[in-house]
Structure 1
Amino acid sequence: MDHLLKVPNNPFELHIDTSPLDDSESSLNHWEEIRFLGRHPSRRSYHSAASWNEKILIYGGQDLREGPQSGLWSLNLREAYFDAEPWEEIEIPGLGPLCRHSAIVKDDKMYVFGGSNGDREFNTTSVIDLNSRSLTVIPPERPDLPPSLDSHTACLYEDVASSMVVFGGFAEGVRSNTVYILNLSTQKWKRAQTDEEPSPRSNHSSVVYNHCLYIFGGSDDEGEKLCDLWKLDLRTYHWEKIIGHGQIPTGRSGHSAIVFKDDMVIFGGMRDITKETNDMFSFDFLTNTWTMFQFEFQIKDPVTPEQLEEYKKRKSINHNHKHKTVPEPTSPAKTPSLHISKSPDASPVGEGLSFLKKKNSLYDGPPSPLEGRIRGKPPHPRDGHSAVVVNNFMYVFGGDRHQMPFNDLYAYRLVETTIKTPVQT
């Protein structure tokens, strides 16, 4: 079957891509670009992103021409219609421009730490109540308060108590390899007393899996891109360098990392100055095995100017004659169709995809550059983007390429067999 872009309220179909949509053939078939009408967050990179109640939360970031960005934005994946404005800017008094910070969400609170406003760096910990939309700041006169940090990482760790684990970044202008932990209940910081440590770094990635913090990549003091992987036991504070097997990623910084089942998934990042990538790797925590399951691709917009002109002509013809020859179709935004994978490992309806069945469907969107879903289109190469997981989908937002920021949104359907299958040469 051809890959089509179906146009709401129009019976004509544009043939955009003739490749079959077979899950076993390519990781590319799991991507969709999501385009909405209405207001969007401005273009930005090195922002923070978190998930909350099936929503994506985007805060801050930078545009190198315009400086640090402000605004907390929310996208409700459960209620997002394609004829509405699903992005909402949440007004939080006292929340200003910030970039290269970190943020986590626990229950109904978002914890924002560090970052820069373009003039100075901070070691402030702000707590945003997402229900009351209010902001409080944890008092700074605490023992073991971290120094001002930016380009670090922070992860939520759930054990006897819930904690925010901060690692690396620039500590007052010098790269760091120190671990700081904030107890979310007592709101007290402590510096973890660790043994052998990874080298100092910035713009790395970090995830938590099975009581361990995993650190990958980043930039060192010479600006070299790192490809080492370290594991910190969060109960003993023992560091271990992981000797991985398989297809180990090249060094990179500004990439993203998420956890899906027993794997870490790495997307994109900067491999060298002005050399961003959009390749993908998985790391199996149980076997220490790396798998490259998506090559780097140079992406072109699937809708050419000629195709748009043809679409406009057909739309004009349809508008003039639809009362004679063409029945009025039902908008897919009102009666969505759900594309379900034929793969036995795909999430069944009623579990990971249940919320999509109701409202937010994976249909082939219109050819407009403003709205719809374009299936089979991965993001452009980039760094400084964000990635979060909601209901077995990885959502990638923003970032930049050659210092040109994005504000686009992509969804990647996570299937265990796909991310564990090496890409075919």
Structure 2
Amino acid sequence: MHTKKPQQQRKNDLIDLSQLSPHLSQVQETQYKYIPLMTKEIQDQLDSKWQECKIQGKNLTPRTNSAIAIHNNDLYLYGGYQQIQGIMQDFYKLNMGAESFIWQNIKCDYEPGPRCRHSLYVYNNCLYLFGGQISDSVYTNEMFVYDINQRFWKKFDQNDSYPQPLDNYCSTVQNDKLYIFGGFYSTDICKHSNDLYTFNFNLNNWIKLNKFKQRQPSPRDGSSIAIHNQNLYMFGGKNGFERFNDLWQFDLSKYEWNFIPILCSSDIPMSRSGHSLIVHENQLILFGGIHDITWELDDLLTYQINKKEWKTINQDSSRRKEFELPSLCKSNKSPQNKKRSVKFTSMIRPFSLRKSVCQSLNKVRSFTQSKQSYFSNYQNVVLTQDQKNNSVVNTSINHVQERRKLENLKKKAAMLKLFDVESSKRTSFQDDCNVTEKLRTSLILIGNPKQDLKLTKGTLTEFGQQIISKFIQPFFDGRNVINGKKPCARDGHAVTVFENQMVLFGGDRHTMSFNDLYILNLTLI
């Protein structure tokens, strides 16, 4: 006997049926199966040596070729360059020991002005800033000092010992002396340099160390130097025609250069410029740089000074294909349920479905010669059925085009859904950068929301496959750092040493500048 159900009961039945629908149950099953694969891939990409600092408040404008220095717990930063804004002259500090990392702008009545590719070092409660680029193709050899306690800048008086203005030189400091090497001489000289200078902070005097003609590195810029005991080490650089991966040692007691050969058992670093080189205990630590046009590096290597050999800690991953996980939904399907692909003959197959749109002349020539008799014998048959074949071909092509349009629309919808953000949260992603930098910042911030949201987005498909994207990784957050996250490939970054840590800021990749701040735990290397 048929009985009518109340309207509310019918609605409840519909809700129950929708919850048990095959589509939703399959998605739920996929999520649970996807969790262990996703977790394993994320764990493999984490690096316990690295930490990214979480900046509170307004972050700095992205930049490259800036300079940083550490005094007590404060990190100081001056200048830098960005393709849109040009050379900058802002001055900031950040307390590395605070619970929250906040950049504080330092305003002074008198400042050095715009600077990039300069050096900044600490000596006796003062910051010393030397050289750099001040405008397009204009460089300087001025020296400024900032009194940290009194909070004002002062310019040193120049004398005859000052070197000519240099561009893209490298520098380091030991005790009361600043050392600079290489670079490109501007003004009337216009050539690369292999000169090594030292500056005494107390005497305001420069001395050229490699006065004598002997075996020494070739002229170059974009290299890096570091000092261990009484030996200065120089690695890499470029001269306008090639990049180098040679390592040299300068004996500060004998004032002579020595070339260090690479052992066969050693890992040979790639040639590069714009990298960083520091000293920790009895080893040199090399990171990043640019190997070729649009090929920045993110590898990490150490040079054991006692053993005289290189060792790779992290290989370069900038040109490595990202790891992709296959779609679990597709892998669960049986081969019997797969649709049969429509096959066309070689003459009526659409161009987009052929193996090669442009065949070689040899293949075309051999094909026509071998099939000439066939077409001559059956030419009449093909002509008589021309109208029927045209209708079949047009129908098949239209079907393929419509199917492809539908697939493209689904792909676009899935990609757009990955970056959906609530309207109330959009203001937190705004930045004062140019359009390119805003896009990059939005991708990073939107791609790293809460962990449960990342997992939901991780089950979405992109181009028909589920993938692990570096923008949806749920990292383990510390108090004010993101543990395990390492910097991407870059050059032109600024580094300094703070206790047993290397602090890294900024840099650029493919002319896109960064404003991120990383810490490398040197005790784990």
Same fold, judged at TM 0.5 (above): yes
Does structure 1 residue 128 correspond to structure 2 residue 146? yes
Aligned mates of 1:17, 1:133 — CA distance in 2: 50
**How far is 1:15 from its partner?**
10
Does structure 1 residue 165 correspond to structure 2 residue 196? no
Residue equivalent to 1:42: 61
Aligned partner (choices 402, 406, 418) of residue 514 of structure 2: 406
Query: Contact conserved, 1:103 with 1:154, CA < 8 A, in 2?
Result: no
Residue equivalent to 1:326: none
Query: Contact conserved, 1:128 with 1:134, CA < 8 A, in 2?
Result: yes
Residue equivalent to 2:249: 231
Aligned mates of 1:305, 1:32 — CA distance in 2: 30
1:163 alignment partner AA: K
Residue equivalent to 2:270: 250
- RMSD of equivalent CA atoms: 2.9
1:87 alignment partner AA: W
Deviations 1:205-258 (A, max 9, x none): 111111121110011242x11100111112221111111330021100011111
**How far is 1:196 from its partner?**
2.3
Aligned partner (choices 218, 224, 228) of residue 209 of structure 1: 228
**How far is 1:270 from its partner?**
0.2
Does structure 1 residue 175 correspond to structure 2 residue 213? no
Aligned mates of 1:153, 1:114 — CA distance in 2: 11
1:234 alignment partner AA: L
Aligned mates of 2:144, 2:72 — CA distance in 1: 20
**How far is 1:297 from its partner?**
2.6
Aligned partner (choices 296, 314, 327) of residue 294 of structure 1: 314
Residue equivalent to 1:149: 166
Query: Contact conserved, 1:71 with 1:95, CA < 8 A, in 2?
Result: no
Report which stretch shifted further, 263-272 or 387-396. 387-396
Residue equivalent to 2:104: 88
Distance 1:310 1:44, change over 3 A: closer
Aligned mates of 1:230, 1:175 — CA distance in 2: 17
Query: Contact conserved, 1:61 with 1:69, CA < 8 A, in 2?
Result: yes
Deviations 1:187-211 (A, max 9, x none): 1112222442211111111111111
Partner SS, residue 288 of structure 2: strand
1:91 alignment partner AA: K
Does structure 1 residue 394 correspond to structure 2 residue 499? no
Distance 1:38 1:95, change over 3 A: farther
For residues 24-423 of structure 1, what are the structure 2 equivalents within 5 Å? 28-81=47-100, 86-92=102-108, 93-119=110-136, 120-140=138-158, 142-158=159-175, 162-172=176-186, 173-192=190-209, 193-194=211-212, 195-222=214-241, 224-245=242-263, 246-298=266-318, 364-365=476-477, 372-415=480-523, 419=525
Runs of 4 or more off by more than 6 Å in structure 1?
14-17, 304-313
Residue equivalent to 1:331: none
Task: Kindly indicate which of the two structures has a greater share of residues assigned to strand.
Answer: 1
Deviations 1:301-321 (A, max 9, x none): xxx9978879999xxxxxxxx
2:141 alignment partner AA: N
Aligned mates of 1:239, 1:33 — CA distance in 2: 38
Distance 1:147 1:80, change over 3 A: farther
Partner SS, residue 154 of structure 1: strand
Report which stretch shifted further, 25-34 or 188-197. 25-34
1:289 alignment partner AA: E
Aligned mates of 2:37, 2:423 — CA distance in 1: 15
Distance 1:40 1:286, change over 3 A: same
Query: Contact conserved, 1:155 with 1:164, CA < 8 A, in 2?
Result: yes
1:174 alignment partner AA: K
2:142 alignment partner AA: T
Query: Contact conserved, 1:259 with 1:265, CA < 8 A, in 2?
Result: yes
Aligned mates of 2:520, 2:419 — CA distance in 1: 26
Distance 1:389 1:27, change over 3 A: farther
Identity %: 32
Task: Kindly indicate which of the two structures has a greater share of residues assigned to helix.
Answer: 2
Aligned mates of 1:76, 1:226 — CA distance in 2: 37
1:231 alignment partner AA: Q
Deviations 1:283-314 (A, max 9, x none): 111111100110123499xxx9978879999x
Partner SS, residue 131 of structure 1: coil
Query: Contact conserved, 2:46 with 2:485, CA < 8 A, in 1?
Result: no
Aligned mates of 1:78, 1:214 — CA distance in 2: 31
**How far is 1:35 from its partner?**
2.0
Query: Contact conserved, 1:166 with 1:181, CA < 8 A, in 2?
Result: yes
**How far is 1:57 from its partner?**
1.7
Deviations 1:135-181 (A, max 9, x none): 111111x23210001200121122xxx21111111111321000111
Query: Contact conserved, 2:133 with 2:167, CA < 8 A, in 1?
Result: yes
Aligned mates of 2:300, 2:92 — CA distance in 1: 27
Stretches of structure 1 lacking an aligned partner (at least 5 in a row): 1-13, 314-362, 420-425
Partner SS, residue 18 of structure 1: helix
1:130 alignment partner AA: I
Aligned mates of 1:103, 1:283 — CA distance in 2: 25
Query: Contact conserved, 2:139 with 2:166, CA < 8 A, in 1?
Result: yes
Aligned mates of 1:179, 1:54 — CA distance in 2: 31
Aligned mates of 1:164, 1:208 — CA distance in 2: 11
Partner SS, residue 47 of structure 2: helix
Question: Highest Rg: 1 or 2?
Answer: 2
Stretches of structure 2 lacking an aligned partner (at least 5 in a row): 1-34, 323-414, 425-474
Deviations 1:383-410 (A, max 9, x none): 0001222122222110000001000111
1:32 alignment partner AA: Q
1:220 alignment partner AA: N
Residue equivalent to 1:318: none
2:235 alignment partner AA: F
Deviations 1:3-57 (A, max 9, x none): xxxxxxxxxxx999624999xx888222122221213221111111222112222
Distance 1:306 1:290, change over 3 A: farther
Query: Contact conserved, 1:32 with 1:410, CA < 8 A, in 2?
Result: yes
